[in-house]
Structure 1
Amino acid sequence: MFPRVRALGQWLALGSVVGVVCGGASALFLFLLDEATHWRLQHEFVVYLLPVAGLVIGALYGKWGASIRAGNNLVIDTVHEGDARLPLRMAPMVLVGTVLTHLFGGSAGREGTAVQMGASLADAVAHRFRVSPSTRRELLAAGIAGGFGSVFGTPIAGTVFGLEVICVGRMSYEALVPALVAAVVGDLVTRALGIHHSVYPVPEALALSPGVIGKWLVFGVAMAVAAVVFVEGVHFIKKRLEKALPALALRMALGGVGVVGLWQLVGTSDYLGLGVPMIQRAFVDPDLPPEAFALKLLFTAVTLGAGFLGGEVTPLFFVGAALGNVLGRLLGLPLELAAGVGLAALFGAAANTPLALSLMAVELLGANVLPHVVIVTVTAYLLTGQRGIYPAQRIARLKHGGPLLERLVPLRDLDVPRAPADRTEEPKP
């Protein structure tokens, strides 16, 4: 009994510390992001300066950010390998870089920033208290959960995301308690500091039937296709630009020119920044432009592929909700429900986190989205295959089944040999 009580006390204390620093960092980040977005909307000419912002951010990262440039992939690698400490400067640098990206109109999100801030701050806590290597890894997962949960106001989804994103198909339950504590405390701190999160319409309940399930399966296929296009598109743009322009600053400047060109071509600012107004519109507007999801996907792929900072969640919320709006109209599904399911399913498939995003849909939209969001998200997750927005994610078994791999393998290195068919023990990290 005493060891269990001691362990609980330790996780309550350490998880709370991580949650406080994650919540405070997310509150500051969201405040600055909101201010930057409002200023850009009032002074749209600044979008023309996005290439210059790219030069500046790229130069700063080129000089001081080489060790943290991998972002979320560095965090995931550190959880598994645990050799080097995450530099504490990751938190302020990614915060400033993301705010500048949004200030000048880059199409990016915020989860990447929150995860990187949370993990780097959690690693600082781990080193401050001189915890064991295993406890440090669990605190890193707690930092991911605390950052994700506090930046979106979804602590339960944040908890599961921190456990699920580390390894495809295998949950890190050893970090469950600290992740839950950090996510809940982080959310409480963010809200206590006056941050208000986006509110979305609550869909009405829809009973499952064979016909409805069939429609959701079609829906899931469409979401999988969109996820594959996004993941491969970002990776393609990134690799081509890295080959053509080795200097990060020049790649970001060229990406900025591309975004400005797209902005002028489409003639609207709807696809710049987070795009939250368009997400909310997707829930209620039967006349939403059918090409909206494709345009946001393109804007975001160019922005992130060029190296601008931020994340993928909110842009993929936009793409998923807008595509869900279109599919809802075509398939005869309730618009609010279709947009809400699409919002969660696309990122769940692209990030290989179907459980976390299904829970996130419930936290954001209410229980009426169940079981619809689970059906679509799991279908899309399976059909995307062995790919994702985080190449550092480890995988223990291919999504379609088969034997365990000989070891946990990053998605980027899946050409390793597999274990014999009769292998049953768990792979070692």
Structure 2
Amino acid sequence: MPLPSASCYTVSVKTTDTFNTRGTIMDSNNSSFRDQLEAAAFKIRTGFVQLIRLLTYGLLCGTLVGAVASVFALGIDAATTFRGEHPWVIFLMPLGAAAIIFFYQKFDRSEGTDTVLLAVTRSESVPGTMAPLIFCATITSHFLGASVGREGAALQIGGCMGDELGKRLHFQDSARRIMVMAGMSAAFSALFGTPLAATVIAMEISHVGLLQYDALVPCVIAALPAYYISGMFGVEKHPWGLSTVAPFTLRLSVSTFVLALLCAVVSVVFVIALGRIPSLARKIPAHPILRGAIVAVILLAMTLLSGGQFYNGAGGHVITECLQGGKVPVWAFLVKILFTAVSVAAGFKGGEIVPSLFIGATFGSVVGPLLGLPGGLAAAIGMGCLFCCVTNCPLGTLLISFEMFGFEGWPYYLLAIAIAYTVSGNYGLYHHQKIRYGKFRIGREDANAHH
């Protein structure tokens, strides 16, 4: 019987080896697939737990900050109403300025909103005294007739409360930073009544050119309950409807372009004035408390010379009049710049955001009709441009324009905000605001906003 050839064994061995190799590969693939499934399941579980935490903390922050911000808004409204019924309280300006400076020197030497921004950019701590001090000082400033806003103060209240909440819950710096942004979002939403813009602004304002999406869920969950809680408290939202919106045409687009350029120039003048006039006031050879009282006397004299209180306070009624196509003095925006800068120099608190809206509305309502734009629409464009330029928040500004004025005029707001944002350069209200992507150079840069 002949022996099998060697080739038969060779073929048999090769066939067996091939089968074993394929089996090993199949086992390896199955194992790899199971590992991937387990890894995916772990990530889903971890992500779900993290989502629940973010929802819980965001809701807690939004509820607490929303309630405090609502009381804050009602306090400002009550102070403004009392001043309107009793104009004589403006004569207490020097005493009020001295008192505010005294308490700030004793309890809080921080840099206001800039300190909150540092808590986001560098994870620095926010003094716990910031919220109660800015709460009382802003209401006092409005009571006495200082030309200040309230949304800047809201960012300080929300940021401080968010930071304190993070400390009490023993959060690490990265998580505490997110709580600061959530608090800012809640306070802005409660006071301004714009939860969409509040969410984006809180993520946008600290780093120009970057959005911090890790804070998206907490900011959203904080902004929404704060908005509805303020409504439950009876906080009146800004009734800033437009009188008319003209169809967007080539001619009006050119007019919008020109108006945006001019608004950018006005914003730079405003920011520079806010830096230079307080700097000049600090050269007065007197104790800071006495110096604040002296500057407040100057502000009082300006009020008396103006013949009324048109430029005192936030000026919401003037903004409403401009949006409805009403007439205002040609120089109103310049006088408001001066009133606001002197108020800040005197030591009054509250922020400069609403005054910037006043400046934009009055400037737009005067210049817009000269360019062929309806007065109310031009006022809205001016408000958006000034807000965007002083805060360096183009996306938040676009959303706030939609929420305040409606979506009908979106082409005007989109064009104007983009142009004004770019032309205004790195000027801004907050010098600790980080410029991550510049406006005139392509690529990253690392600079601070300046005034």
TM-score, normalising length from structure 2?
Answer: 0.87
Q: Which position in structure 1 is the counterpart of 2:449? A: 411
Relative distance call for 1:246 and 1:391 in structure 2 (3 A) is: farther
Q: Which position in structure 1 is the counterpart of 2:370? A: 330
| Root mean square deviation of aligned Cα | 1.6
> Which structure has the bigger radius of gyration?
2
- 8 Å CA contact 2:207–2:436 kept in 1: the answer is yes
- 8 Å CA contact 1:348–1:377 kept in 2: the answer is yes
Deviation at 1:25, TM superposition (A): 1.2
**3-state SS in 2 of match to 1:244:** coil
Per-residue Cα deviation, 1:225-246 (whole angstroms, up to 9, x for no partner): 1100110001001222234357
Deviation at 1:189, TM superposition (A): 1.2
Please state if 1:257 is matched with 2:300: no
- The range that moved more, 393-402 or 269-278, is 393-402
Q: Which position in structure 2 is the counterpart of 1:320? A: 360
Give the counterpart letter for 2:212 in structure 1: S
Name the CA distance, whole Å, in 1 between partners of 2:437 and 2:400.
25
Deviation at 1:247, TM superposition (A): 4.2
Give the counterpart letter for 1:410 in structure 2: N
Please state if 1:147 is matched with 2:187: yes
Per-residue Cα deviation, 1:70-97 (whole angstroms, up to 9, x for no partner): 10001011211123x3122211110100
Deviation at 1:125, TM superposition (A): 1.0
Q: Which position in structure 2 is the counterpart of 1:80? A: 121
Deviation at 1:357, TM superposition (A): 1.4
User: Which of 24, 30, 33 is equivalent to 2:67?
Assistant: 24
- 8 Å CA contact 1:349–1:381 kept in 2: the answer is yes
Name the CA distance, whole Å, in 1 between partners of 2:145 and 2:450.
30
- 8 Å CA contact 1:251–1:307 kept in 2: the answer is no
- 8 Å CA contact 2:436–2:447 kept in 1: the answer is yes
**3-state SS in 1 of match to 2:437:** coil
- 8 Å CA contact 2:166–2:179 kept in 1: the answer is yes
Relative distance call for 1:203 and 1:3 in structure 2 (3 A) is: farther
Please state if 1:173 is matched with 2:216: no
Q: Which position in structure 1 is the counterpart of 2:264? A: 224
Map residues 349-364 of structure 1 onto 2, 5 A cutoff. 349-364=389-404
Name the CA distance, whole Å, in 2 between partners of 1:366 and 1:150.
19
Q: Which position in structure 2 is the counterpart of 1:201? A: 241
Deviation at 1:286, TM superposition (A): 4.3
Give the counterpart letter for 1:164 in structure 2: E
User: Which of 318, 338, 346 is equivalent to 2:386?
Assistant: 346
Per-residue Cα deviation, 1:335-354 (whole angstroms, up to 9, x for no partner): 22111121222111111112
Q: Which position in structure 1 is the counterpart of 2:331? A: 291
Give the counterpart letter for 2:46 in structure 1: P
Name the CA distance, whole Å, in 2 between partners of 1:265 and 1:410.
38
**3-state SS in 1 of match to 2:444:** coil
Per-residue Cα deviation, 1:183-235 (whole angstroms, up to 9, x for no partner): 11211111112212120123544333321211111111111111001100010
Q: Which position in structure 2 is the counterpart of 1:117? A: 157
Name the CA distance, whole Å, in 2 between partners of 1:22 and 1:308.
23
Name the CA distance, whole Å, in 1 between partners of 2:201 and 2:217.
13
- 8 Å CA contact 2:204–2:211 kept in 1: the answer is yes
- 8 Å CA contact 1:40–1:105 kept in 2: the answer is yes
Give the counterpart letter for 1:341 in structure 2: I
Per-residue Cα deviation, 1:37-68 (whole angstroms, up to 9, x for no partner): 111111111112111111111111111122x3
Relative distance call for 1:255 and 1:396 in structure 2 (3 A) is: same
Please state if 1:59 is matched with 2:102: yes
Please state if 1:387 is matched with 2:430: no
Deviation at 1:138, TM superposition (A): 1.0
TM-score, normalising length from structure 1?
Answer: 0.91
Please state if 1:11 is matched with 2:43: no
- 8 Å CA contact 1:350–1:389 kept in 2: the answer is yes
Please state if 1:369 is matched with 2:412: no
Q: Which position in structure 1 is the counterpart of 2:84? A: 41
- 8 Å CA contact 2:260–2:417 kept in 1: the answer is yes
Give the counterpart letter for 2:449 in structure 1: L
Runs of 4+ in 1 over 6 A off after TM superposition: none
Give the counterpart letter for 1:191 in structure 2: G
**3-state SS in 2 of match to 1:396:** strand
Relative distance call for 1:21 and 1:385 in structure 2 (3 A) is: same
Unpaired segments ≥5 residues, structure 2: 1-43
Name the CA distance, whole Å, in 2 between partners of 1:231 and 1:86.
25
Name the CA distance, whole Å, in 1 between partners of 2:424 and 2:96.
34
Q: Which position in structure 2 is the counterpart of 1:71? A: 112
Per-residue Cα deviation, 1:11-60 (whole angstroms, up to 9, x for no partner): 11101111111111111111111111111111111112111111111111
User: Which of 252, 277, 282 is equivalent to 1:242?
Assistant: 282
Give the counterpart letter for 2:225 in structure 1: V
- 8 Å CA contact 1:169–1:399 kept in 2: the answer is no
Per-residue Cα deviation, 1:137-173 (whole angstroms, up to 9, x for no partner): 1111111111111110001110111011111111111
**3-state SS in 1 of match to 2:384:** helix
Deviation at 1:410, TM superposition (A): 2.7
Unpaired segments ≥5 residues, structure 1: 414-429
Deviation at 1:329, TM superposition (A): 1.5
- 8 Å CA contact 2:325–2:376 kept in 1: the answer is no
Give the counterpart letter for 2:252 in structure 1: V
- 8 Å CA contact 1:248–1:307 kept in 2: the answer is no
Name the CA distance, whole Å, in 2 between partners of 1:322 and 1:170.
31
Relative distance call for 1:266 and 1:411 in structure 2 (3 A) is: same
Relative distance call for 1:285 and 1:409 in structure 2 (3 A) is: closer
